Structure 1
Amino acid sequence: MVQMALNYIQARTCLQFVQSSVAANRIRVFSGSGCYSSVGMIGIVAHEFMHALGVWHMQMRDDRDSYVYIDLSSVPSNLHGNFVKLNSADVINYNPYEYGSTMHYDAVAFSSTNSYTILPYDTPYTRTIGSRTITFYDIKTINDHYQCHAWCGAGSAVCLNGGEPNPRDCTICNCPAGYGGATCNQRPAGCGEALVATGLWQVKQFTFGNAAVTTYRDSYMECNHRVQVSNKTTLEPTAL
């Protein structure tokens, strides 16, 4: 599991993880009473290693009050430190505040009553925070911090839709969610459909999960559906 998480990060950044028992500076991975890192799923492992790489929790950013409301009324006082807001002099916000980051706590984090402790001002994101999916911006933050973008110069891929050249292979791109292909101009590989909108309502049924799978997955399964519309038209999706 640890190696899978490191491989995921390594394949999209300029970082190289080398196993060593003698290096002066190294990260020790062991079986303990909790899951933590000093500063399950692949996303959880990546979360802890990102701490070791210098990344703080998203909700600790100095600008967090513009995006979430913190309610400590149900949090034991000895756990309040998990919600400390960082000083702007101590942190660099390389990228936008991201509710879906693997570095964001969930909405009821550390609550003793399962009550909300973190409330996004954009309320639909209440069920988004706490995700354990490693996002485009999670990877981009590592690349920004370690100046991995300098690895790609002339001749690198020209990425579309906000993508960036992958420092591990500058001929392909790291793509934001919903985009795939070498230059982020395609629907991501894997399950999903390419749909065409019409002037009449169409009903599509999508099944999430697999009842036959009763054990935990190493990672999440993603399905991407892309809807093509004509110029100057508005798409109106409705969930039933």
Structure 2
Amino acid sequence: MGVQEIPFYTPFYLLIFVLPMAIINVKLGIGLNKRTIYALFRMTIQLVLVGFFLQYIFLFNNLWVNSAYVLFMIGAAGLSTVKTCGLTVKKQLLPIVIGFGLPNLGMILFINQFVIGLDNIFDAQYYIPLMGMLLGNSLSGNIIGINTFYNGLRQNERLYQYRLALAANQWEATLPWYKEAVIACMNPIIASTETIGLVSLPGMMTGQILGGSMPMTAIVYQIVIMGAILISRYFGIHFSILLTRKQAFDDYDRLIR
């Protein structure tokens, strides 16, 4: 049995609940209305365009086209991280993109080759959706981790300089905030992994079940993707901080504003 088709107009029924949200925001002076409406509008436009685009990508299913689209996804995620964390686009975009790209590309190719066992590891049906899941989780994790690292250093700059004055090198002096950043990045995904199946039924598993897959098949895929998300997120935050810090300090190990 296939998934139940939803008419294109029925998602707009959800707008019934947006109106009371807007009224409450106005009454309480919560300035979220413009951002909420803009976010919903932008999400709709983006998903519609992506849906049309992916239909042709899946039909064409070319290695170079698929890889170009994945690289575009990595670049967009990197740019979003740089802007959200207040980093310099010119100096930090490439390190962030590499920090995203290396663990996630390596993980998705490993999954497609050795876990799923695809004949074509760049098959658009697996390559692009799974990569999107990995990148989406790495994006949120990297933003949390990078903000924790650099905000911690800015707020404790005197302590950092004191550690340098005690003959610590840059790595040793920044280690407390580095560890905090990794923990902050990983805590949400570890908590989610611990409670999955008890507190929530995740999106990939739910989607496969709605699409007609047997529950055990969906569960195996979900185990694979959750493990991959946790691993790629862990290495992603390490790579991102290690690569961005090269541009974040001057020759005297002072944090560049």
TM-score bucket (shorter structure):
under 0.3
Q: TM-score if structure 2 supplies the norm length?
A: 0.23
More helix per residue: 2
More strand per residue: 1
Q: Which has the higher contact order (CA 8 A, sep 6+)?
A: 2
Q: TM-score if structure 1 supplies the norm length?
A: 0.24
